[in-house]
Amino acid sequence: MTKLVNYISEAFHELKTNVTWPEWAEVQRLTIVVAVFSILFALLTFGVDELFVKALEGFFNLIK
C-alpha cells in the first residue's frame, strides 16, 4: 500500500513541477479548434453515409 501512495504522491509532484501547462487563452483557442474540426468531421461522415445509402438504394431498386 505504501508503494501505491508513494507512486501517486510522486505523480502529483511531477505534474506540479515538470509539466509545462498552456496558458488559459491557448486552451480556449485549441478547444474551439478541436470542436470545429469534430463537427466538420461528423458532418463529413454523415454526408458520406447518406451518399452510400442513396447509392445502395439506387442499386437495389435497379436490380428489382
Q: Which three cell numbers stand for residue 50?
A: 447518406
Domain map of the chain by residue range?
2-63
In angstroms, the CA 18 to CA 11 distance is 10
In angstroms, the CA 41 to CA 28 distance is 20
- The per-residue pLDDT for range 19-32, each reduced to its tens digit, is 898 999 999 999 99
- The per-residue pLDDT for range 1-59, each reduced to its tens digit, is 899 999 999 999 999 999 898 999 999 999 999 999 999 999 999 999 999 999 999 99
In angstroms, the CA 24 to CA 51 distance is 41
Q: Which three cell numbers stand for residue 14?
A: 511531477
